[in-house]
Amino acid sequence: MVHAEAPQFWDKVAEKYAKSPIRDMDAYAYTLERTRSYLAKSDRVLELGCGTGSTALLLADAVDQFTAADISPNMIRIANRKAVDEGVENVRFVVAEFFDQALNDGPYDVVLAHNLIHLIEDTTGALRHVASLLKPGGIFISKTVCRPEAGTPWKYRLMRLIVPVMQLLGRAPFVRFMKIEELEREVTAAGFKIIETGNHPPPSRYVVARKTGA
């Protein structure tokens, strides 16, 4: 389930989001290169929650076809503008929510969901849906904000306290703060074998998982 207010929320912040610098460029660059290492030139890739398309445009040269989706029309409008400016032609940006039937033209070799799973209320259903979009042996790569643990910088622990207040004011979307072990149990239960993990930065959990079975 995706909250009905979510498209409007992200539409409102799209321009500001596009102009905001990445908070931890080293962590972003590291996970980008780790993600690239799992891609092949023949791959068909789907990115869910692509925002303004930065990651899709940076990885497009590593694959054959790249479909990138977001629930916000304004995010997609900015992404399309960037694709034209950068001359990237193998990325298709579409307005679609997580469970949209318009994205069921797979199966895909790789599905990406960076900074998205914690924004979806039905985690179990979302992960099972991802599995249904992938080929057997396909790769799911995600980065998910999880519940801060002991030793996590105080600003991330404070975030968990502030978010509910921001939500009441309409200035934050739905967020589910799972424990890392809970997230990974959900991924495994959806039919995946986890092959790589890391915290980049904590409490963002980077998970690479391969779809098992036929």
Establish if 147 belongs to a structural domain. Answer: yes
Q: What are phi and psi of 85, to 5 degrees?
A: -60, -35
Tell me whether residue 1 is in a domain: no
Cα–Cα distance, 188 to 211 (Å, whole number): 9
Q: 38 in a domain, yes or no?
A: yes
The total of structural domains in the chain comes to 1
**Residue among 190, 2, 206 at smallest CA distance from 100:** 2
pLDDT digits (tens, 9 = 90+) for 109-126: 999 999 999 989 899 999
Helix 6-19 and helix 73-86, axial crossing angle in degrees, nearest 10: 30
Check which CATH number belongs to the domain holding 154 and give it.
3.40.50.150
Q: What is the tens place of the pLDDT at every residue in 180-209?
A: 999 999 999 999 999 999 998 878 999 999
The pLDDT tens digits along the chain (214 residues) read 445 567 777 787 788 878 888 888 999 999 999 999 999 999 999 999 999 999 999 999 999 999 999 999 999 999 999 999 999 999 999 999 999 988 988 899 999 999 999 989 899 999 999 999 999 999 999 999 898 766 666 566 556 555 554 555 565 556 788 999 999 999 999 999 999 999 988 789 999 999 997 6
Q: Please state, in angstroms and rounded to a whole number, the distance separating the CA atoms of residues 61 and 42.
A: 11
The pLDDT value recorded for residue 134 is: 97
Whether 130 maps to a domain, the answer reads yes
The model carries a pTM of 0.86
Tell which residue, 84, 97, 92, has the closest CA to residue 10: 97
| Assigned token pair, 191 | 């039919």
> In terms of residue numbers, what domain contains 158?
6-211
Report which DSSP code applies to 22.
Answer: P
